[in-house]
Amino acid sequence: MSDSPAAPSRTKASGVKAALASVSPVPGAPKPDAIFVGDSITRSFGGLAAVDVSHLEVQRGSITALIGPNGAGKTTFFNVITGFDPPNTGTWSFEGSSLAGTPAYKVAREGMIRTFQLTKVLNKLTVLENMRLGAQGQSGESLFRALIPAIWRKQEDEITERALGMLEQFNLFHVKDEFAGSLSGGQRKLLEMARAMMSNPSMLMLDEPMAGVNPALTQSLLEHIKELRETGITIFFVEHDMDMVRDISDWVIVMAQGSIIAEGPPADVMRNPAVIDAYLGAHHDVALTESGESLTDTSVSLTKSEES
Amino acid sequence: MDWLTVFQNSLTQMIGVSAIIYCLAALGLNIQFGYTGLLNFGQAGFAAIGAYAIAVTVATLGWPLWLALLFGILGAIIFALLLGIPTLRLRADYLAIVTIAAAEIIRQVARSVSLNDYLGGSDGISGKYAADWYALNPLPVGIDTALIRFSRNDLWVVINGWTLVAIIVLLTWLLVRSPWGRVLKSIREDEDAVRSLGKNVYLYKMQALTLGGVIGAFAGVIFAVAAQSVQPDNYSTTLTFFAYAVLILGGAARVFGPVVGSMIFWFLLVFVGQALNNAVKAGYISSSILRPDQVGQVQFMLVGLGLMALMIFRPQGIFGDKKELALDER
């Protein structure tokens, strides 16, 4: 799958694939060079355990997909590890430093930058201003230094230049002076991703980057994500679009009912019976009629014998 | 009917002390609400702190005015911190509830009988506590023309008041076009997005609340100095809501919005009142329809209608951008 003809030459990609080849495809598998390590992370809402992850590692430089049926806890897991939602228990570290209990803005400063399922662009700011906001360490963002433009003018010019280059890459240059609120849904996804890139993240966390994006734009988004990885960034994303997952990810982690039920390279994971059951229900291929027994084929009887 | 006097009074009030006070209160709200999206419904409380800080320290303790002014600023900062620490981590509406209540608490404390000796109860504090400052007035006389008329002291207040407004407008202008201002505007749009980009949203909201509150305290300082007295009931919620009317009239998140909004608001208010009064006195309006003592109420009804019409036909305010407003409806 990874050798599709449209793909550019991918040196980083092949390196990651080689490193992951030796990893055993079991839930919570240790990775040779993990950028993110999480342990016993739980988050419950009332009696419902939304997240219950015992161990998870993300390989540095990889494109790792987090998939699972609706309500599996993927977004909640993202919220917890980025500091947007407090966990009930758990520790996790990023690039070796512990991030549990760290507020969201400090998580972002550590280099873990996320986007949101429901795109959060800043409507009444122009596209360019949205981009500028993403840059880190701006001296003009302090109240007193802001009063003296001479202090921050030079840095602002550098940021603007970088933002314009980034907008060009993401095909948004022509709308740079429009209000972000006037962009289409797909353009907003692109803007949010480009804005996150302004922060120079070491891990980019995308929550359903393809949701609501038209198929024509999907292809260019996919290319962007692949190019981002070539710059050395780790990409960790939640997605429902299986074609995308199959196309770009090096490693897939499957969540269901809050915990990780499977891990592995995309092709293997999608054949995993536990994953198929999670998505379609354990009895998905049993006919709903009373006479179902007569229609059973070998695979169903296999599943049944496993359960009993 | 004396149209000339009506116009003279209206134009005088348009640039008069009231316009300055409400302009300052609205300038503070502009930073809080206009740029940062913080619903501060307690601007009257900040103004009261500024006013009482001057009155109490100068009249009762005999401090010099400049020290009293610093004390007022410090008071506003502490008030902002007290309001902000528990509420700024919560959703926007909690700040609105807490601020409106806190401003009322300040007013009720100021008029309480048990503090009568210090704060003067419902009568407030009167005295010549700005006498030293009025003594600095280099103007020989006031101004008395066909269009505007100010006494010598009022003219001194007005000149200094508008100078203060100009300084604050300049500071606001510098701040909102800086990266700091960009963070504020972004928080107004979506604070989670700002947090996800590594900005300490809580700190910025606190800065905006404090800065806007200090500007609101200046409104109270001007009020106290101009009137040479403070009365607790001048700092009721009406002050806050008039300031919001001024802000929205001029256009929120526009540097000059509060200035122009305040001028228009006071011109309209005084013009409608004076015109009605004169019309009733001259017999143009029969007293069976409107008695002189009812003019005050009808004046506010008409101004209210005018503001409603403005919101319907120009919802973005005088300076606002309709395109920007339309984004909310998407």
DSSP string, B217-285: HHHHHHHHHHHTEE-GGGGSHHHHHHHHHHHHHH-TT-TTHHHHHHHHHHHHHHHHHHHHHHHHHTTSS
Identify the pLDDT of residue A193: 92
CB A194 within 8 A of CB A172: yes
Residue A80 and residue A221 in one domain: yes
CA neighbor of B106 nearest in space, from B88, B83, B89: B83
Where chain B has pLDDT below 50, the residues are none
Q: A252 lies in a domain?
A: yes
Q: Which amino acid type is present at position A250? A: D
Residue A271 and residue A158 in one domain: no
Residue A210 and residue A248 in one domain: yes
Q: A194 lies in a domain?
A: no
Residue A141 and residue A267 in one domain: no
Domain boundaries, position A254 = 11-120+200-281
Confidence of residue A13 (pLDDT cuts 50, 70, 90): confident
d(CA B162, CA A291): 88
Identify the pLDDT of residue A138: 96
CB A59 within 8 A of CB A250: yes
Sole residue written with tokens 């305040």: B262
Identify the pLDDT of residue A114: 95
Identify the pLDDT of residue A280: 76
Look at residues A150, A181, A212 and tell me which one is the last residue of a structural domain: A181
Q: Is the pLDDT of residue A212 over 80?
A: no
Residue B229 β-bridge partners: B126
**In chain A, how many domains are there?**
2
Confidence of residue A65 (pLDDT cuts 50, 70, 90): very high
Determine the 3-state secondary structure of B100 from DSSP. Answer: helix
Pairing label, strands A112-114, A259-264 = unpaired
Chain B contact set for A123 (CB, 8 A): 189, 327-328, 330
Confidence of residue A281 (pLDDT cuts 50, 70, 90): confident
Confidence of residue A214 (pLDDT cuts 50, 70, 90): confident
- Residue ranges with strand state E in chain A: 34-45, 48-59, 63-67, 89-94, 97-98, 112-114, 203-207, 234-238, 251-256, 259-264
Q: What is the DSSP letter of A9?
A: P
Identify the pLDDT of residue A76: 95
Closest Cβ opposite residue A129 in set B175, B182, B207: B182
d(CA B106, CA B112): 10
> What is the ipTM for the molecules in this complex?
0.89
Q: A41 lies in a domain?
A: yes
CB B255 within 8 A of CB B172: yes
Residue A261 and residue A134 in one domain: no
Q: A191 lies in a domain?
A: no
Identify the pLDDT of residue A286: 60
Residue A95 and residue A169 in one domain: no
CA neighbor of A142 nearest in space, from B40, B324, B180, B21: B180
Kindly state the greatest CA–CA separation across chain A.
82
Confidence of residue A285 (pLDDT cuts 50, 70, 90): low
d(CA B317, CA B311): 7
Chain A contact set for B198 (CB, 8 A): 105-106, 108-109, 113, 136, 199
What is the DSSP code string of A238-280? Answer: E---HHHHHHH-SEEEEEETTEEEEEE-HHHHHH-HHHHHHHH
Residue A45 and residue A27 in one domain: yes
Confidence of residue A291 (pLDDT cuts 50, 70, 90): very low
Closest Cβ opposite residue B197 in set A147, A152, A199: A199
Optimal mutation site among B89, B197, B254, B328, interface A, most CBs of chain A within 10 A: B197
Q: Six-digit token pair at B32?
A: 């809080």
Give the total residue count for chain A: 308
C-alpha pair distances (Å), A100 with each of A38, A204, B49, B80: 9, 18, 41, 31
Confidence of residue A25 (pLDDT cuts 50, 70, 90): confident
Closest Cβ opposite residue B180 in set A82, A113, A141: A141
d(CA B50, CA A94): 48
Identify the pLDDT of residue A1: 41
Confidence of residue A284 (pLDDT cuts 50, 70, 90): low
* Entry pTM: 0.90
Confidence of residue A221 (pLDDT cuts 50, 70, 90): confident
Residue A112 and residue A126 in one domain: no
Distance from the Cα of residue A144 to its chain's centroid: 37
Q: A84 lies in a domain?
A: yes
Residue A167 and residue A235 in one domain: no
Residue A148 and residue A270 in one domain: no
Identify the pLDDT of residue A48: 87
Identify the pLDDT of residue A283: 64
Residue A3, C-beta contacts closer than 8 angstroms, at least 6 positions apart: none
C-alpha pair distances (Å), A202 with each of A8, A101, A108, A157: 22, 20, 10, 24
CA distance A142 to chain B (A): 6
Q: What is the DSSP letter of B130?
A: T
Closest Cβ opposite residue B183 in set A108, A123, A141: A141
Q: Which amino acid type is present at position B93? A: D
Residue B170 sits at the chain A interface (C-beta within 8 Å) = no
Q: A63 lies in a domain?
A: yes
